[in-house]
Amino acid sequence: MKIIKREQLKQKPALDNTLGFGKYFTDYMFTMKYTKEAGWHDAKIQPNEPVQFDLATTIFHYAQGIFEGMKAFLQPDGTISVFRPEENWARMNRSADRMCIPQFPTDVVQEGLDELLKLEKDWIPSAPGTALYIRPTIVATRVMLGVHASTEYLFFIILSPVGSYYAHGLEPTRLLVEDFYVRSSIGGTGEAKCLGNYAASMKAGEEAEKKGFDQVLWLDAQEKKYIEEVGSMNMFFVIDGEVVTPALVGSILPGITRKSCIQVLKDKGIPVSERRISIDEVVEAAEKGTLEEAFGTGTAAVISPVGLIQYRGKDYEICGGKMGKITQMLYETITGIQYGKTADPYGWRKIVK
């Protein structure tokens, strides 16, 4: 892999729990270009510096772009591991298909990521709860205002040392059930990790934050009845001993942490089902006292307990506003594998060589 070195390295921030999320970026990035004539080409590692684009570039107007979120962890023996990267590449190519972006070669980007991580090893924080966040992205780079799929693209990977996604760390989050705005509908782009999904969620997110909530819990677009996801997390509820998560009906992001949790739960013999779950069922369980736990899963959010949901002006506290036992077990199992503190029976830890 071609590496263009920079003359001066950046000053690193304190690599501890004061990092927050996505505020600092490392010295280098991986880039690769696409043109109709040459296909994907020119894969290289170069200094992470501002890049110039013409203001008529497709990405600025029609948001033809996709991204992924992954994390690299420093292992006790000093090696670097990444959690299930092949799953992210596969999902990214599915998102690409939805957004008319050409399929990319996963072996080339994996090699680019490995080289980039080796070069940036000193940026990987080692404090508990920290990691090096990996943001692979593809943007449409053709200069053209017609509403058509671009014929040129840029694939890039930037890296950011991070602490917790939420400012209050692992403290249970407060969610507002949104029954006006919708995130996605079946046939829309909800199961693709495309840029516009996140832009479209910001209005409801801002309104929820103003009311003191961390995030919005989305309902389905058709009936405003069934739980979808949180936007940065998939949702799980523990009701009367059964773990329930919304089925992947086409409007929800197929999360990799979600899939991993389902596998762990099945292997531990804990009843888990992927099905439609209505907000009425959740509220009824909360009223009856059978809503035992709720949590969200995601790369950035890891496993985040949910301590309260508000629906139609009424607050429902969950698990006494504390982290429940199943949430704790999943947090420890997933982070144990990620940080190399436990065995990896599933082969989810990819060591960078």
**Nearer residue to ligand COI within complex by CB, 57 or 297:** 297
The answer to the question of residue 298 lying near ligand COI (CB under 6 A) is yes
Q: How is 231-294 classified by DSSP, letter by letter?
A: SSSEEEEEETTEEEEE---SSS---HHHHHHHHHHHHTT--EEEE--BHHHHHHHHHHT-EEEE
Q: Which two tokens stand for residue 344?
A: 């990896």
CB 284, min distance to ligand COI, A: 30
Residues 286-290: contacts with CB within 8 Å, 24+ apart? 286/316, 286/317, 286/318, 287/316, 290/239, 290/240
Candidates 54-62, 115-123, 292-300, 304-312; binding stretch for ligand COI (CB under 6 A): 292-300
Q: Tell me how far apart the alpha carbons of residues 263 and 184 are, in angstroms, rounded to a whole number.
A: 26
Q: Is 172 in the site for ligand COI (CB under 6 A)?
A: no
Could you tell me if 112 and 142 are in contact, meaning their C-beta atoms sit under 8 angstroms apart? Answer: no
Query: How far apart are CB 69 and ligand COI at their closest, in Å?
Result: 2
Tell me whether residue 72 or residue 286 sits nearer to ligand COI (CB atom).
Answer: 72
Report which DSSP code applies to 12.
P
List 130, 251, 299, 327, residue binding ligand COI (CB under 6 A): 299
Tell me phi and psi for residue 242, to 5 degrees: -110, 135
- Restricting to residues 224-253, name those near ligand COI by CB under 6 A: 232
Q: How far is the CB of 255 from ligand COI (least distance, A)?
A: 8
Number of residues that bind ligand COI (CB under 6 A): 7
- Residue 59 or 301: the one with the smaller Cβ distance to ligand COI is 301
**300 interacts with ligand COI by CB under 6 A:** yes
Residue 130 interacts with ligand COI (CB under 6 A)?
no
Smallest distance from the beta carbon of 160 to ligand COI, in angstroms?
11
Q: How far is the CB of 239 from ligand COI (least distance, A)?
A: 25
Choose, by CB under 6 A, the member of 26, 43, 58, 69 that binds ligand COI.
Answer: 69
- For the bound state, the minimum distance from the C-beta of residue 165 to ligand COI, rounded and expressed in Å, comes to 6
Least CB distance from residue 89 to ligand COI, whole Å?
14
Q: x/- contact string, 323-342, with ligand COI (CB under 6 A)?
A: --------------------
Q: Give the count of beta carbons closer than 10 Å to the beta carbon of residue 66.
A: 29
Point out which span in 123-131, 218-226, 295-303, 309-317 binds ligand COI (CB under 6 A): 295-303
Q: What is the b/e burial string over 258-293, where b = at least 16 CB atoms within 10 angstroms of the residue's CB? A: bbbbbebbeeeeeebeeeebebebbbebbeeeebbb
Cβ atoms < 10 Å from Cβ of 222: 11
Q: Report the interface residues with ligand COI, using CB under 6 A.
A: 69, 198, 232, 298-301
